[in-house]
Homo-oligomer: A and B are copies of this chain.
Amino acid sequence: MQPKLEDVAKLAGVSTTTVSRVINNRGYLSESTKDKVFKAMQRLNYQPSSAARALHGKQFKLIGLIFAGITNPIIAEVVEKIEDRLFNRGYKAIICNSLDNPEKERQYLRMLMANQVDGIITGSHNEGIKEYGMTELPIVSYDRYFKDKIPTVRSDNYGGGQLAAKTLIDKGAKKLLLVSGSIDVQMPNNDRITGFNKAVEDRGYTPQTVELPYNSTPAIKRATIHQSLLIDHPDGIFCTDDLTAILCMQEAKKIGMKIPDDLQVIGFDGSTNVQEYNPELSTIVQPLDDIADLLVRLLFNRLDNEDEKLLEEYTLPVELIQRESVKN
């Protein structure tokens, strides 16, 4: 059995109340007592029962992270960064992969709300999951839109789309193609698209668009892209995510197009992984460190002091990383 508070008290030769005081740092305490208690705690390898503590409204030190899945490199990276920051504050992260299954997401939300976690960071789909509105848990979201008072942190998707368009055109592209995931108002994708289209049209061009349904397999995506390359003959492509951009480059090469001479490509996200293993790809990079920092900061803000007024949206600047897939 785990040692309990009483055991610590006994070993330290003080009362249980005193031990509790030391742990919670309340009331008057002498250094020597604190020392004795800490030493006893160490010797016994004591850890207060978070169950018992939680019963008194203390924090569980647990945060729920709801994301679609962690096999997407950009999500894996955000989640990893968030987890690390939570750890530094003494919190642990429960990983909830919705896998694009609303039912799973809903169930997870209920489980989290029960009374397990102190807060939630969500970056998942949530097509009108009413449970989000049903809780008083502090929630912050990454890159998703909520009507209610849930603050959202995201990259400047619109600006990133514009930047991509501007860059491609400046580098001489004339036949522009936009390859996007599902076009859905709730999704960040949307801003990337509108930003891109706006900037393209402003410069007097008309962009072609290829929409890849959200749940299509890479094989289908490849085929669709392949087709489009042959038909539309683009010389500049913007993809709303890096993975799609990789497919574009690969398919282009297959049909003998040279990058960047025949075709320039810009992606979006800039996860470390993609950058390291696809060094050719130019991309609009999300500031993941800042995003993770801000998400966690906002969450703890709501956790610690209820009254501070938070903004509804925090938009962080993106950056173009220029690699071989665009001309110099």
Residues from chain B with a CB closer than 8 A to the CB of A70 are: 70, 76, 79-80
A48 and B94 contact, Cβ closer than 8 Å, known pairs A71-B76, A99-B84: no
Q: What is the chain B residue whose CB lies nearest that of A52?
A: B55
Within 8 A of B (CB), among A58-74: 60, 62, 65, 69-71, 73
Q: Smallest Cβ distance from A263 to chain B, in angstroms?
A: 18
Q: How many copies does the complex hold?
A: 2
Residues from chain B with a CB closer than 8 A to the CB of A96 are: 83, 92
Within 8 A of B (CB), among A210-228: 218
Task: Give Cα distance in the complex from A87 to B107, angstroms.
Answer: 10
Within 8 A of B (CB), among A226-285: 243, 246-247, 250, 271-273, 276-277, 279
Stretch with Cβ within 8 A of B (4 or more), from A6-14, A109-117, A198-206: A109-117
Q: What is the chain B residue whose CB lies nearest that of A57?
A: B51
Whether A104 sits at the interface, judged by CB under 8 Å, is yes
Task: Give Cα distance in the complex from A204 to B62, angstroms.
Answer: 57
User: B95 and A93: CB pair below 8 A?
Assistant: yes
Whether A49 sits at the interface, judged by CB under 8 Å, is yes
Task: Give Cα distance in the complex from A69 to B107, angstroms.
Answer: 26
Contact of A115 among B49, B73, B84 (CB under 8 A): B49
User: A71 and B73: CB pair below 8 A?
Assistant: yes
- Offer 28 A-B interface pairs, CB within 8 angstroms, sorted by A: A2-B115, A45-B134, A48-B114, A49-B55, A49-B114, A49-B115, A50-B116, A51-B54, A51-B115, A62-B116, A65-B95, A69-B80, A70-B70, A70-B79, A71-B73, A71-B77, A71-B80, A73-B273, A80-B97, A83-B96, A83-B97, A87-B107, A87-B108, A92-B96, A92-B111, A93-B95, A218-B276, A246-B277
Beyond A47-B111, A83-B96, A92-B116, 14 additional contacts (C-beta under 8 Å) are A47-B113, A49-B54, A50-B115, A50-B116, A51-B54, A52-B55, A76-B76, A80-B97, A84-B97, A87-B107, A92-B96, A93-B95, A94-B95, A218-B276
A-to-B contact residues, CB < 8 Å: 2, 45, 47-52, 54-55, 60, 62, 65, 69-71, 73, 76-77, 79-80, 83-84, 87, 92-97, 99, 104, 107-108, 110-111, 113-116, 134, 218, 243, 246-247, 250, 271-273, 276-277, 279
